[in-house]
Amino acid sequence: MATSQSSMSQHFQQSSYQINNHHSHRVVFDASVIQNETNIPKEFIWPDHEQPSLRTQELKVPLIDLGSFLSGDPLAAKESCNLIGQACQEHGFFMVVNHGVDTALIADAHKFMNLFFDLPLYEKQKAQRKLGENFGYTSSFTGRFASKLPWKETFSFQYCADQKTSSTMVEDYFRSKLGQDFVKLGKVYQDYSHAMSALSLNIMELLGISLSVNRYHLKNFFEDHDSIVRLNYYPPCQKPELTLGTGPHSDPTSLTILHQDHVAGLEVLIENQWRCIRPNTSAFVVNIGDTLMAMTNGRYKSCLHRAVVNSNTARKSIAFFLCPKKDKMVIPPAELVDQEKSRLYPNFTWSDLLEFTQKHYRADMNTLDAFCTWLLANNNRE
């Protein structure tokens, strides 16, 4: 470990956020009502130093042509690897085009997202996410946190690459939570999840090459993944300068593949400055998560990012969070560990990190370090 356990323990004590925070008053986030309010409830107002800037410069992220790479062109593969390697060592964000995902499927995924989030609140709450779970519907996180609430709704569901369970699991989830009328939505997101699974494994192959390890090492590790898909809806806000759609955090997962609509909102912290990533509906935004940062022994970065809102237009996005099978041990390849670059993080499983973020900690810029402290402390007690 690069950081001493005592200093990490001190850091954890300072930054840990108690999730099971019971409070007597619980604000209701009904997007159809709250988007017209000029008096923003205090629970959604962020501290002055965290409030968004009205003017943010664009972050130029590399645009990777996957079509050339997948065609087997060695020069295209080399160029893509160089671009990805540089971006992942600096901030962990890049875009992919010619990705092979059907544009009609992407359009349907956005169309049906509108149908879901336009439902009355009580209908969406049939799929309400329970405390400690990571699947289901949330109207902000009003049942989980008491302050700095995000200005958004989400609906999350599981996708497993295991062929025995993957063929209808998303359809089945929509049917069980929302009823027979939503099977068509479930089928669209089943197909979308399957397409994201294939795309994520192709990207993992490219990342393996860029790291100069066996090109199939990461792809093989994630081939039986147990991942999360999340639909995000950010309604308009009459005082967007006071709140955030999603607070500053790094993703605890391995790889995020995000499709944005045409509305800007995604921002990344670079050299202590927030920079925006311009929407490109032909591309997917890809970023490294904490789990992959640990698996690359810190070579590739999991960067702080957030989402801002505006007063005029709703914003929607679909995130696919690639995660390893829960019992797999996250260990960097031997090529990424040597005398100059010793191990930065202990071995852990995704189920350990998932439990930590769902029950003990609110994801932020320090999630991975705090998790390592918690993990070591638990292991020492055993």
Query: What pLDDT does 269 receive?
Result: 95
Give the Cα separation of 231 and 39 in Å (integer). Answer: 27
Give the Cα separation of 166 and 160 in Å (integer). Answer: 5
Map out the domains of the chain as residue ranges.
Answer: 25-381
Contacts of 290 (CB under 8 A, 6+ apart): 250, 251, 252, 253, 302, 353, 367, 368, 371
Fold of 25-381: Jelly Rolls (2.60.120)
Query: CB of 125 within 8 A of CB of 153?
Result: no
> Catalytic pick from 230, 275, 299, 315?
315
Query: What pLDDT does 27 receive?
Result: 78
Known catalytic residue: 278? no
pLDDT at 339 over 80: no
pLDDT at 142 over 90: no
pLDDT at 164 over 70: no
What average pLDDT score do residues 324-335 get? 94
pLDDT at 254 over 80: yes
Give the Cα separation of 171 and 185 in Å (integer). Answer: 8
